[in-house]
Chain A
Amino acid sequence: AQSVTQLGSHVSVSEGALVLLRCNYSSSVPPYLFWYVQYPNQGLQLLLKYTSAATLVKGINGFEAEFKKSETSFHLTKPSAHMSDAAEYFCAVKESASKLTFGTGTRLQVTL
Chain B
Amino acid sequence: GAVVSQHPSRVICKSGTSVKIECRSLDFQATTMFWYRQFPKQSLMLMATSNEGSKATYEQGVEKDKFLINHASLTLSTLTVTSAHPEDSSFYICSVGGGGTNEQFFGPGTRLTVL
Chain A interface residues toward B at CB < 8 A: 32, 34, 36, 41-46, 49, 51, 90, 94, 98-105
| Chain A-chain B contacts (Cβ-Cβ < 8 Å), number | 50
Are A105 and B109 CB-contacts (below 8 A) given A49-B103, A98-B102, A98-B104?
no
- Residues of chain A within 8 A (CB-CB) of B93 are 43-44
Contact assessment for B103 and A45 in the assembled complex, using a CB-CB cutoff below 8 Å: no
Contact of A42 among B1, B43, B105, B109 (CB under 8 A): B109
Are A99 and B46 CB-contacts (below 8 A) given A42-B108, A44-B93, A94-B102?
yes
Contact assessment for A32 and B108 in the assembled complex, using a CB-CB cutoff below 8 Å: no
Bound Cα distance from A78 to B15, whole angstroms: 45
Chain B interface residues toward A at CB < 8 A: 1, 4, 6, 32, 34, 42-44, 46, 49, 91, 93, 95, 97, 102-109, 111
- Residues of chain A within 8 A (CB-CB) of B46 are 99-101
- Residues of chain A within 8 A (CB-CB) of B91 are 41
Bound Cα distance from A1 to B2, whole angstroms: 28
- Residues of chain B within 8 A (CB-CB) of A43 are 4, 6, 93, 95, 106-109
Are A51 and B102 CB-contacts (below 8 A) given A44-B93, A102-B44, A104-B42?
yes
- Residues of chain B within 8 A (CB-CB) of A101 are 46
Contact assessment for B102 and A49 in the assembled complex, using a CB-CB cutoff below 8 Å: yes
Bound Cα distance from A44 to B107, whole angstroms: 7
Are A45 and B106 CB-contacts (below 8 A) given A100-B46, A102-B44, A104-B43?
yes
Are A98 and B32 CB-contacts (below 8 A) given A43-B93, A103-B43?
yes
Q: Which residue of A lies closest to B49 (CB)?
A: A99
Bound Cα distance from A36 to B95, whole angstroms: 13
Q: Which residue of A lies closest to B110 (CB)?
A: A43
B2 CB to closest chain A CB, in angstroms?
11
Bound Cα distance from A93 to B108, whole angstroms: 21
Bound Cα distance from A98 to B6, whole angstroms: 21
Bound Cα distance from A103 to B42, whole angstroms: 9
Are A44 and B102 CB-contacts (below 8 A) given A98-B32, A104-B43?
no
